[in-house]
Amino acid sequence: MESYDIMLLAVDGVIGGACNAIAGGGTFFTFPALLSVGIPPVVANATSAISIWPGHATSLVSYRPELRRHAGRLKMSTPVFVLGSIVGAGLLSVTGNGLFRDLIPWLLLSATVLFAAGPKLRSAILVMRSDHLPVAVTVLLDFVVAVYGGYFGAGLGILLMAILTLIGIEDLNEANALKNAFATIVSSVAVAIFIASGIIAWGPGAVVLAGAVAGGYIGARIARWVNPMILRAVIIFIGLGLTWLYL
């Protein structure tokens, strides 16, 4: 990598990490940055996943009380999320770069729409949900979301929050705790498969990871000073712009 590439990846890692700490959407920065320095699409997606993985895992430390209260839900759903992420990551590892390149704008558009609709989606589900969602439906939703998360990942947190709202978890801290736990499961399994498949660009990934760690720390410190709605609007604009660019 040239010095310009290293600087670009580090800066986008910082921005992505900070965005994840404040409002989410960090993948909209890390994934395109890896593509822009010449990394093939499948490898760029896998490398982006491993670069932002620590953010989910480290957040669980502060959510231990909430996770203990939902130990039953974790025990029931973990195998489903593991299986779904195996399927999704496995699909990515066998997807050719040509096909994945064609899918990029549609994946970005889907993630952007999910990101934009997240708050309204949660509110609508709170109004419409049933208090007695069948277990089979919950398992199916968990599996589908895990497959998506293992394959691409952008917008995974929003989908998880939607499911948790649908099954009746209305406390935001508890929902965030479970969301991060399930996202950690999905990303951990996916990263393990990506490593075993040899589709990680370790040098660029290390640069993005270092930037994301720094950005996460910075984002956590400035979160109270940044209007999340303004940041969400900027990320949505970037997501739509990237969709147009890759189309």
Three-class SS of the chain: CCHHHHHHHHHHHHHHHHHHHHCCCCHHHHHHHHHHCCCCHHHHHHHHHHHHHHHHHHHHHHHHHHHHHCHHHHHHHHHHHHHHHHHHHHHHHHCCHHHHHHHHHHHHHHHHHHHHHHHHHHHHHHHHCCCCCCHHHHHHHHHHHHHHHHHCCCCHHHHHHHHHHHCCCCCHHHHHHHHHHHHHHHHHHHHHHHHHHCCCCHHHHHHHHHHHHHHHHHHHHHHHHCCHHHHHHHHHHHHHHHHHHHC
Asked whether the CA dihedral 154, 242, 235, 217 is positive or negative, the reply is: positive
pLDDT, averaged across the chain: 83
Give 94-135 pLDDT, tens digit per residue: 888 888 888 888 888 887 887 777 667 667 766 665 556 677
Q: How many Cβ atoms are within 10 Å of 127's Cβ, its own excluded?
A: 6
Q: Return the pLDDT at 221.
A: 72
- Please give the tally of structural domains in the chain: 1
Burial pattern 137-166, b for ≥16 Cβ within 10 A else e, equals ebeebbbbbbbbbbbbbbbbbbbbbbbbbb
pLDDT (mean) for 43-53: 88
pLDDT reading at 55 higher than 60:
yes
Q: Return the pLDDT at 133.
A: 64
Q: How many Cβ atoms are within 10 Å of 124's Cβ, its own excluded?
A: 13
Q: Show the domain range for 71.
A: 3-246
pLDDT reading at 74 higher than 70:
yes
Instruction: Choose the weakest-confidence range: 82-91, 128-137, 148-157, 204-213.
Output: 128-137
The pTM of this model reads 0.80
